[in-house]
Protein backbone atom coordinates (compact mmCIF):
# COMPACT_ATOMS: atom_id res chain seq x y z
CA UNK A 1 0.00 0.00 0.00
CA UNK A 2 2.91 2.34 0.68
CA UNK A 3 4.17 1.78 -2.87
CA UNK A 4 0.80 2.85 -4.29
CA UNK A 5 0.86 6.01 -2.16
CA UNK A 6 4.41 6.78 -3.27
CA UNK A 7 3.55 6.38 -6.95
CA UNK A 8 0.37 8.46 -6.70
CA UNK A 9 2.20 11.18 -4.72
CA UNK A 10 4.45 11.75 -7.74
CA UNK A 11 1.42 12.26 -9.99
CA UNK A 12 -0.34 14.81 -7.80
CA UNK A 13 -0.31 18.40 -9.05
CA UNK A 14 1.68 20.80 -6.91
CA UNK A 15 -0.73 23.66 -7.65
CA UNK A 16 -4.00 21.74 -7.63
CA UNK A 17 -7.03 23.98 -8.23
CA UNK A 18 -9.19 24.77 -5.21
CA UNK A 19 -12.83 24.39 -6.18
CA UNK A 20 -15.74 24.88 -3.79
CA UNK A 21 -19.28 23.66 -4.18
CA UNK A 22 -21.59 26.30 -5.63
CA UNK A 23 -18.83 28.32 -7.28
CA UNK A 24 -19.10 29.21 -10.94
CA UNK A 25 -15.84 28.14 -12.53
CA UNK A 26 -14.19 28.31 -15.94
CA UNK A 27 -12.25 25.08 -16.64
CA UNK A 28 -9.61 25.15 -19.38
CA UNK A 29 -9.29 21.64 -20.85
CA UNK A 30 -6.75 20.35 -23.35
CA UNK A 31 -8.51 18.70 -26.33
CA UNK A 32 -6.59 16.52 -28.76
CA UNK A 33 -7.91 16.24 -32.33
CA UNK A 34 -5.63 14.03 -34.36
CA UNK A 35 -2.18 15.54 -34.04
CA UNK A 36 -3.42 19.01 -33.07
CA UNK A 37 -4.07 20.21 -29.55
CA UNK A 38 -6.28 23.08 -28.47
CA UNK A 39 -7.72 24.44 -25.24
CA UNK A 40 -11.47 24.41 -24.73
CA UNK A 41 -13.20 26.35 -21.96
CA UNK A 42 -16.11 24.84 -20.02
CA UNK A 43 -17.92 27.26 -17.68
CA UNK A 44 -20.54 26.23 -15.16
CA UNK A 45 -21.48 25.64 -11.52
CA UNK A 46 -19.64 23.11 -9.37
CA UNK A 47 -22.34 20.74 -8.11
CA UNK A 48 -20.21 17.99 -6.53
CA UNK A 49 -16.75 16.98 -5.37
CA UNK A 50 -15.78 13.34 -5.00
CA UNK A 51 -12.94 11.27 -3.53
CA UNK A 52 -9.53 12.52 -2.46
CA UNK A 53 -5.91 12.04 -3.40
CA UNK A 54 -5.12 11.07 -6.99
CA UNK A 55 -8.75 10.13 -7.76
CA UNK A 56 -10.24 13.49 -6.72
CA UNK A 57 -12.88 14.83 -9.14
CA UNK A 58 -15.37 17.66 -9.38
CA UNK A 59 -18.56 17.90 -11.43
CA UNK A 60 -19.46 21.07 -13.34
CA UNK A 61 -22.95 21.72 -14.72
CA UNK A 62 -24.02 24.24 -17.35
CA UNK A 63 -26.91 24.86 -19.71
CA UNK A 64 -26.06 24.56 -23.39
CA UNK A 65 -28.86 25.53 -25.80
CA UNK A 66 -31.44 24.70 -23.13
CA UNK A 67 -29.98 21.27 -22.36
CA UNK A 68 -28.17 20.57 -19.10
CA UNK A 69 -24.60 19.36 -19.61
CA UNK A 70 -22.47 17.95 -16.80
CA UNK A 71 -18.79 17.11 -17.02
CA UNK A 72 -16.62 15.40 -14.44
CA UNK A 73 -13.05 16.68 -14.26
CA UNK A 74 -10.19 14.94 -12.43
CA UNK A 75 -8.38 17.55 -10.33
CA UNK A 76 -4.91 16.11 -10.97
CA UNK A 77 -5.35 15.40 -14.68
CA UNK A 78 -2.71 16.89 -17.00
CA UNK A 79 -5.55 17.71 -19.43
CA UNK A 80 -7.07 20.22 -16.99
CA UNK A 81 -4.84 23.20 -17.68
CA UNK A 82 -6.36 25.67 -15.21
CA UNK A 83 -9.51 26.40 -13.25
CA UNK A 84 -10.65 30.01 -12.76
CA UNK A 85 -13.29 30.99 -10.22
CA UNK A 86 -15.76 33.38 -11.85
CA UNK A 87 -18.02 33.89 -8.82
CA UNK A 88 -18.40 32.36 -5.38
CA UNK A 89 -21.69 30.76 -4.45
CA UNK A 90 -23.34 30.48 -1.05
CA UNK A 91 -24.73 26.99 -0.50
CA UNK A 92 -25.64 24.79 2.44
CA UNK A 93 -25.23 21.40 0.80
CA UNK A 94 -22.28 19.25 -0.22
CA UNK A 95 -24.02 18.03 -3.38
CA UNK A 96 -26.23 20.28 -5.50
CA UNK A 97 -28.03 17.58 -7.47
CA UNK A 98 -31.33 19.35 -6.84
CA UNK A 99 -30.31 21.94 -9.48
CA UNK A 100 -30.97 19.30 -12.15
CA UNK A 101 -34.72 19.59 -11.60
CA UNK A 102 -34.80 23.39 -11.59
CA UNK A 103 -35.37 25.66 -14.58
CA UNK A 104 -34.50 29.31 -15.21
CA UNK A 105 -33.76 31.58 -12.27
CA UNK A 106 -34.61 28.85 -9.78
CA UNK A 107 -31.49 26.98 -10.92
CA UNK A 108 -29.21 29.84 -9.82
CA UNK A 109 -26.99 29.75 -6.77
CA UNK A 110 -26.91 32.84 -4.56
CA UNK A 111 -23.66 34.77 -4.62
CA UNK A 112 -21.47 34.96 -1.54
CA UNK A 113 -20.59 38.54 -0.63
Q: Is the pLDDT of residue 92 over 70?
A: yes
Report the percentage of the chain scoring pLDDT > 70: 96
Separation CA 18–CA 83 (nearest Å): 8
For position 94, what pLDDT does the model report?
A: 95
Domains of the chain: 2-103 (2.30.30.790)
- Strand 67-74's sheet: what is its strand order? 67-74, 57-64, 36-50, 24-33, 80-87
Q: What is the pLDDT of residues 74-85, one digit of tens each?
A: 999 999 999 999
Main-chain phi, psi angles of 4, to 5 degrees: -65, -45
Mean pLDDT, the chain, whole residue set: 90
Higher pLDDT, 52 or 48: 48
CB 75 within 8 A of CB 13: yes
- Does residue 70 carry a pLDDT above 90? yes
pLDDT at 1: 64
Decide if 88 contacts 20 (C-beta within 8 A): yes
Amino acid sequence: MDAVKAISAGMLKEDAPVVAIGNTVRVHVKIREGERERIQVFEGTVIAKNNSGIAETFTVRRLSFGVGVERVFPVHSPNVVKVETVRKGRVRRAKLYYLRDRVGKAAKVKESI
